[in-house]
């Protein structure tokens, strides 16, 4: 290739990277950004598969994966929620690259020189029947030049689909893209951390509003919506945009609990009628935080905060609230069916599922069979039938999310199965979270 032609090609690639970076900056959620980063990295290099690891103290945490050989485009795959980390040392290829901050391009992982500083672990290939050949591993660096993660791409493909080595152009271009993408990744991490800090304020009032709880609910909502949108045949552009927003917005579903008395939030038994009437206003308090919304994210956060205790049959709360700017003294006219915003209908199911399945100081978790039985029973009553169908269809993904974002209670806070008082309190709380929806 002539020098002018190569120069023009490099300019085109650089402009393409800038355009992709602009699209990344439109996204809010970390997982949506990682998905886009992998999509664009693979497109730029024509790679079959790829993984992103993010630095977490002294280890690299598996954060996202693509594999065209195993994952169909648009389908939800539980493997993206695998929960493992790799030590930050030279015993792995990603650890080696992270430690040195330099890219590594391997033509054939099964035919590396004897003096190679790294070795390939074939465990995944043996387990799945996949055959890794070429591998390009690059560090993601912050604006200060510090390594914050790794992009590892597998098996570059030629026009016929045959695995080939990654080109020098790919080796030069991918680090540039990784470094520009790091800005969007850092921003998304900061957004998620800010939300978790906000919810820590709610957790001080209500111990059930933990960081893992809101993270699980947000992720459940994103994947339930994805499946629902696929079932309804919604356009890919709309699907991706809404999935990005709903994951972040639904994490704030109970932020209004900061306005409710500790006496009510921490009561280990069923609320009386007066207490329940007060508790209902946490939906209004949460929505008030977003009443002067200037973004789609704020607007959706407000709709979810206000509507996630509505019921498909019209028996939920707070009902139709037309003016949030002034003092709201009473619940509104009941909302029924599709009058309830879709994102609130999805969050209603996600929140109940997680609450019933979570261990609390006053109760053990319900088994999955019992939770699913209740959800099926409440299909068309508490929950949107189509949302229930979407949830059940991806239940393996739901359980993978739950396993990834677990939480551990101290030993002295774990429920005592011999305690009749704890059992009674647990049943009361479970009813509140389930059919009666008193929380």
Domains, the chain, ordered by start: 3-187 (3.30.450.40), 206-433 (1.10.3210.10)
pLDDT digits (tens, 9 = 90+) for 287-317: 998 988 789 999 999 999 999 999 999 999 9
H-helix or E-strand containing 96? helix 93-100
pLDDT at 326: 62
Q: Helix 168-205 to helix 211-232 angle, to the nearest 10 degrees?
A: 120
**In the predicted model, what is the mean pLDDT of residues 320-346?**
83
Residue 9 in this model has a pLDDT that exceeds 80: no
Cβ burial, residue 161 (10 Å; 0-12/13-18/19+): exposed
Indicate the range of 39-43, 245-249, 405-409 predicted with least confidence: 405-409
**Total residues belonging to the chain:** 439
* Total-model pTM: 0.82
- The pLDDT > 90 percentage for the chain reads 58
Bridge partners of residue 85, in order along the sequence: 61
Report whether pLDDT(424) > 60: no
Whether 49 and 211 have beta carbons less than 8 Å apart is answered as no
- Does 421 score more than 60 pLDDT? no
Tally of helices (H runs) and strands (E runs) in the chain:
16, 7
The proportion of the chain whose per-residue pLDDT surpasses 70, expressed as a percent, equals 84
Residue 410 vs residue 9, higher pLDDT: 9
Cis peptide leading into 318, omega within 30 of 0?
A: yes
pLDDT in tens, 153-177: 999 999 998 999 999 989 999 999 9
- Tell me the C-alpha distance between 80 and 78, whole Å: 5
pLDDT value of position 25: 78
- Give the separation between CA 234 and CA 390, rounded to whole angstroms: 14
**CB neighbour list of residue 377: distance below 8 Å, 6 or more residues apart:** none
pLDDT score recorded for residue 77: 82
- Specify which residues 153 forms β-bridges with: 50, 136
CB 55 within 8 A of CB 149: yes
On whether the CB atoms of residues 53 and 87 are closer than 8 A, the answer is: no
Q: Phi and psi of 351, rounded to 5°?
A: -65, -45
DSSP SS3 for 400 = helix
User: What value does the mean pLDDT take over residues 314-341?
Assistant: 82
> Does pLDDT of 420 surpass 50?
no
Highest-confidence segment of 33-37, 197-201, 207-211: 33-37
Q: Residue 386: what pLDDT?
A: 98
Average pLDDT over residues 20-36: 85
Highest-scoring range by mean pLDDT, 4-18, 203-217, 297-311, 416-430: 297-311
Confidence check: pLDDT of 423 > 50: no
Q: Return the H-helix or E-strand segment holding 108.
A: none
Query: According to the model, what pLDDT value does residue 215 have?
Result: 92
Contact 345, 365 (CB under 8 A): no
Write out pLDDT tens, residues 101-152. Answer: 999 999 999 999 888 889 999 999 999 899 999 999 999 999 889 999 999 9
Question: Which two three-digit tokens encode residue 282?
Answer: 């946490």
């Amino acid at each position: 290739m002539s020098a002018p032609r190569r120069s023009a090609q490099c300019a085109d690639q650089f402009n393409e990277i800038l355009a992709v970076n602009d699209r990344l900056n439109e996204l809010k959620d970390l997982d949506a950004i990682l998905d886009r980063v992998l999509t664009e990295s693979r497109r730029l290099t024509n790679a079959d598969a790829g993984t992103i690891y993010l630095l977490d103290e002294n280890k690299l945490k598996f954060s996202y994966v693509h594999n065209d050989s195993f994952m169909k485009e648009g389908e939800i795959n539980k493997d993206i929620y695998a929960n493992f980390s790799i030590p930050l040392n030279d015993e792995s290829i990603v650890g080696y690259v992270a430690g040195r901050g330099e890219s590594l391009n391997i033509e054939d992982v099964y035919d590396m020189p004897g003096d190679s500083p790294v070795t390939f672990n074939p465990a995944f290939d043996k387990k799945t029947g996949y055959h890794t050949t070429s591998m390009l591993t690059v560090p993601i660096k912050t604006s200060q030049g510090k390594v914050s993660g790794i992009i590892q791409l597998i098996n570059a493909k030629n026009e016929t689909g045959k695995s080939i080595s990654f080109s020098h152009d790919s080796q030069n271009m991918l680090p540039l893209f990784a470094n520009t993408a790091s800005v969007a990744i850092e921003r998304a991490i900061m957004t998620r951390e800010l939300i978790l800090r906000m919810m820590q304020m709610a957790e001080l009032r209500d111990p059930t509003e933990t960081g893992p709880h809101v993270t699980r609910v947000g992720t459940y909502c994103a994947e339930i919506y994805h499946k629902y949108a696929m079932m309804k045949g919604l356009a890919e552009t709309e699907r991706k945009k809404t999935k990005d927003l709903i994951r972040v917005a639904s994490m704030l579903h109970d932020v209004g609990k900061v306005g409710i008395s500790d006496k009510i939030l921490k009561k280990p038994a069923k609320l009386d009628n007066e207490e329940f009437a007060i508790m209902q206003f946490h939906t209004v308090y949460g929505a008030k935080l977003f009443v002067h919304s200037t973004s789609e994210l704020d607007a959706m956060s407000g709709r979810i905060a206000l509507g996630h205790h509505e019921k498909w049959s019209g028996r939920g709360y707070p009902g139709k609230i037309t003016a949030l700017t002034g003092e709201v003294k009473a619940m509104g006219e009941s909302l029924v069916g599709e009058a309830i915003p879709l994102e609130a209908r999805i969050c209603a199911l996600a929140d109940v599922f997680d609450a019933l399945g979570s261990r609390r100081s006053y109760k053990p978790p319900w088994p999955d069979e019992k939770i699913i039985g209740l959800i099926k029973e409440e299909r068309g009553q508490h929950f949107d039938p189509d949302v229930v169908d979407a949830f059940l269809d991806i239940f393996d993904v739901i359980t993978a999310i739950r396993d990834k974002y677990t939480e551990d209670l101290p030993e002295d806070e774990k429920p005592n199965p011999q305690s009749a008082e704890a059992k009674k309190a647990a049943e009361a709380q479970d009813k509140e979270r389930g059919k009666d929806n008193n929380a």
